[in-house]
Amino acid sequence: MGLLESISPRAIVASILLLTCLVHDVCARPSPEPRSAWVRKGPGRKKMADHIKRAVEGKRPRSTEPSCVETLATNIAAPKTNIWGELSHVEAAAVVQWLFAQPELNLTVTDKATAWDNTILLVESMRPNKTDALPYLDGNATAPTKYAHVVLDHRATESPYYADILVGPLPVDSTTTKWEPLTFPYTKKSGGKVRNLDADDVALYREWLLVIGASVADITRDLWNGTAMGLANDTLEIWGIDPLWQDNGRIIRWDTFWNLPTDNFGAETLLPLGLYFMSDVTGRDPSKWKLEGWLYNNIFYETTEEFRAAYWSPGFVKNGANVEGDWARTDQQGAVPPLDTAYPPTQITPAGTRFSVDMQQKYVEWMDFTFYIGFTRDTGMALFDIRYKGERLIYELGLQEALAHYAGNDPMQSGTAYLDTFYGFGPYAFELVPGYDCPAYATYLNTSFYVAETTHTHISSICLFEFAADFPMQRHSTSKYVSVTKNTHFTVRSVSTVGNYDYMFSYTFFMDGSIAVEVRASGYIQSAYFAHNEDYGFQIHDFLSGSMHDHVLNYKVDFDILGTANSVQLMTNVPVSKRYPWSKGRNRSTMALKRSFVESEADGRFNWDGNAVTQVLVVNEDEKNKYGEYRGYRVLPYTGTAHLTVKHSSNLANAAHWAEYDIQVTRQKDTEPRSAHPYNSQDVNDPPINFAKFFDGESLRKEDLVMWLNLGMHHVPHTGDLPNTVMTTAHSGIQFMPSNYFSMDQSRQTVNMVRIDYGNGTTSNVATFGQKQGNCSLDFEPVEPDLYGYTGDVVIRKFPFDPNDPYYETDSIA
């Protein structure tokens, strides 16, 4: 019968894995003990397969059955070097040493630098041009020459600026290595320089915000029993808008007071206090900065004296304070739901890891998919050269930028439009928690980023795992048989906590050849003081507004469908009234398909339509199937997506034109590798990358195309966002699915399906297609991995290079 094996239904039952709970109190009986008693000396971050192997090896035999284990994690060698990979410690150290030896850069070691010294902000691998990458990937060309991308913080000047430079070729060689301004990836031609509005951050706090805080200490003590004046016993903090107002040559900020949490929870963004002040902080001399006024309870006061006089006069209306409490804490609280303390369902991988990884090169093979993982400071994880059955589908898939645009009656919320790559997704891609962020059996990879002459390594910050969906890939029933296919998928995941918010990024691959891109959000919302904000959010606590905001996350998808000559076809179901030869002269009201191509960049920016009725297809017009249909991939929303509601944002000006539409298509260019620059917020009117300038009317037919897709969510936090936003609904996703790309569904190739023939009350045949059958024993140890193995970042000093003295240090924004 070949592959199609038939066995009796009883064997199916018999082959159900024999699960053995080794730790009975966890499996069977909820423990009333304190939390610390739950922590076990587990097997560390070893894979489940190792436990099984150990059991099978006889150290802890549970039964005489053969093992379920088919394979253990396979280490493979990537077919090519990962040209999007990170610099090695040695390479980074050599670049740093070389930079300090260039007198014209006039660099100071970060530890010793003041606000008036030049420092190195970033040293990382420069991604190669696609023009140079393809001949290497697809032909015999040598790997593209390696360069370092370096960002310098030039502060030894009246007009401080960030400078993007290229250093190379690598490895560093005193005669051939040079530096040059990095200019080609930016639309603004300014020698790779962007002004730095943050150069005097220390002076801003010490000599400005805290001084102003002290000047109203009588009021803050009276209102909130606290101060923000730089004392050890301050219970308030001051911070404000981002980006700063940047009009008419002035740099204006609005700041507000926040209560500091008294415990370890990061609840500060839930504790706004409703007093705001405006400052003109143009230039580098704090003595020339000006306080421009105060706002309280929607009344504006030009000066501190005016505000104080009003405050202490009779009838002044004082509002209450947001104060931390259990409502802002994420620990368990409230009545435990029925049976909740019993150990919950969990997935296992009885046959071990069914995929292969080159850990060094960050190259992955799962079923018929292969890809490389890249990682940068700005945008974190990205995938490259994604192939299915050996054929490239996508050259590059990765986050570009994430916007959180708030609004409000008050200047703090109205002025907030975070462009998160300023902070970076790489530095905040923290260690994942096995068993919680990803299955405990997942394979974990490290990522590294450069900061202040050190390389920080986030241990286990990318996870790779297979998972069985809770729904089948396929099924069908008749009166004679039922056929069902399992839906096993593969996910690559990282989480970045940028300040108050946690973004979970997942790329998921499916057996039918489809790919999903998803983002989920959790963490603390940035809330608003409630007064006068009724039109901008729900009131969610005593003096708190949920503060409406749009999340928009831009992804680059560089499709290569059967080569680089691709087109975007739109196909819409349209209502029609039509007479047919058979309709006897009568018109039929019905529908039909309308097809068109996105001809050029002039019509390359558009939205999902209201009824999701238009298919967006990336096709190769020269690669038709045998029926004459174009082979391609369809792009479709997986869950909700979002583009920015605000038109011509006062906060953003030209800094985030990428946020304006759901789908944007451009011609692929080496000069347009990214839709946003991390310092776009520093010069919003004339940012280093103005995405709108990518659209210059070029033809998009049979060209190498890039799709810039927005995920996101229109977030109006409600009481369910307290204490943290939940990932069940804070979720956005897009899928890429084959559309006439193959002659049939590719998931027919899996053996993980069954056909049961039945009738007359009996089953006559069960076809399992060569699935591994038979008995095996499995020791299921339902224990979290040793979570005391969670360490945070490992740091290695680069200047002086000290690879043998790593230390632990984890930095977060909040």
Ligand X SMILES: *[C@@H]1O[C@H](CO)[C@@H](O)[C@H](O)[C@H]1NC(C)=O
User: Interface residues with Cu ion (CB under 5 A)?
Assistant: 715
Compute the CA torsion angle 624, 629, 633, 638 (nearest 10 deg).
-170
Q: Among residues 195 and 731, whose Cβ is nearest to Cu ion?
A: 731
Q: Among residues 464 and 711, whose Cβ is nearest to ligand X?
A: 464
b/e burial code for range 667-680 (CB count within 10 A of at least 16 → b): bbbeebbbbbbbbb
**Least distance from ligand X to the Cβ atom of residue 664, Å:** 21
**Least distance from Cu ion to the Cβ atom of residue 556, Å:** 23
Q: Among residues 520 and 715, whose Cβ is nearest to Cu ion?
A: 715
* Phi and psi based region of residue 58 (left: phi greater than 0; alpha: psi -120 to 50; beta: remaining): left
Residue 137 three-state SS = helix
- Chosen from ligand X, Cu ion, none, partner binding at 446 (C-beta under 5 to 8 Å by type): ligand X
Please enumerate, as own/partner, the contacts of 24-31 that have beta carbons within 8 Å and a separation of 24 or more: 26/343, 26/782, 26/783, 27/343, 27/782, 28/342, 29/342, 30/341, 30/342, 31/341
- Chosen from Cu ion, ligand X, none, partner binding at 117 (C-beta under 5 to 8 Å by type): ligand X
- Chosen from ligand X, Cu ion, none, partner binding at 804 (C-beta under 5 to 8 Å by type): none
Count the Cβ atoms, other than its own, within 10 Å of residue 531. 17
Rounded Cα distance, 792 and 811, in Å: 9
**Least distance from ligand X to the Cβ atom of residue 532, Å:** 26
**Using alpha carbons only, what angle is made at residue 499 by residues 498 and 505, rounded to the nearest 5 degrees?**
25
Structure-block tokens of residue 40: 């076990």
The residue number whose beta carbon is nearest to ligand X equals 759
Residue 437 three-state SS = coil
- Chosen from ligand X, Cu ion, none, partner binding at 156 (C-beta under 5 to 8 Å by type): ligand X
Quick one: which of 193, 214, 273, 132 has its CA closest to 673? Answer: 132
Catalytic residue among 161, 501, 503, 661: 501
- Chosen from Cu ion, ligand X, none, partner binding at 235 (C-beta under 5 to 8 Å by type): ligand X
Q: Is 501 assigned a catalytic role?
A: yes
Q: Among residues 212 and 459, whose Cβ is nearest to ligand X?
A: 459
- Chosen from Cu ion, ligand X, none, partner binding at 140 (C-beta under 5 to 8 Å by type): ligand X
Q: Among residues 529 and 694, whose Cβ is nearest to Cu ion?
A: 529
- Chosen from ligand X, Cu ion, none, partner binding at 752 (C-beta under 5 to 8 Å by type): none
**Least distance from ligand X to the Cβ atom of residue 577, Å:** 3
Quick one: which of 376, 443, 415 has its CA closest to 276? Answer: 415
Q: Among residues 94 and 328, whose Cβ is nearest to Cu ion?
A: 328
Count the Cβ atoms, other than its own, within 10 Å of residue 80. 15
Return the DSSP state at 432.
P
**Least distance from ligand X to the Cβ atom of residue 64, Å:** 8
- Chosen from ligand X, Cu ion, none, partner binding at 715 (C-beta under 5 to 8 Å by type): Cu ion
The overall longest dimension of the chain from CA atoms, in Å, is 94
Structure-block tokens of residue 598: 């996105």
Residues at the site binding ligand X, with contacts judged by CB under 6 A: 11, 14, 106, 108, 116-118, 129, 132, 139-140, 145, 156, 184, 225, 231, 233, 235, 359, 445-446, 457, 459, 577-579, 587, 670-671, 759-760, 764, 774-775, 794
Rounded Cα distance, 790 and 18, in Å: 31
R_g of the chain, CA atoms, integer Å: 29
**Least distance from Cu ion to the Cβ atom of residue 551, Å:** 5
Q: Among residues 116 and 606, whose Cβ is nearest to ligand X?
A: 116
**Least distance from ligand X to the Cβ atom of residue 614, Å:** 22
Residue 93 three-state SS = helix
3-state helix, strand, coil in the chain (%, to 5): 15, 40, 45
**Least distance from ligand X to the Cβ atom of residue 691, Å:** 18
Catalytic residue among 242, 420, 558, 793: 420
- Helix and strand element counts for the chain (H, E): 10, 43
Q: Among residues 161 and 536, whose Cβ is nearest to Cu ion?
A: 536
Count the Cβ atoms, other than its own, within 10 Å of residue 112. 8
What is the Cα 420 distance to its own chain's centre?
10
Catalytic residues: 420, 501
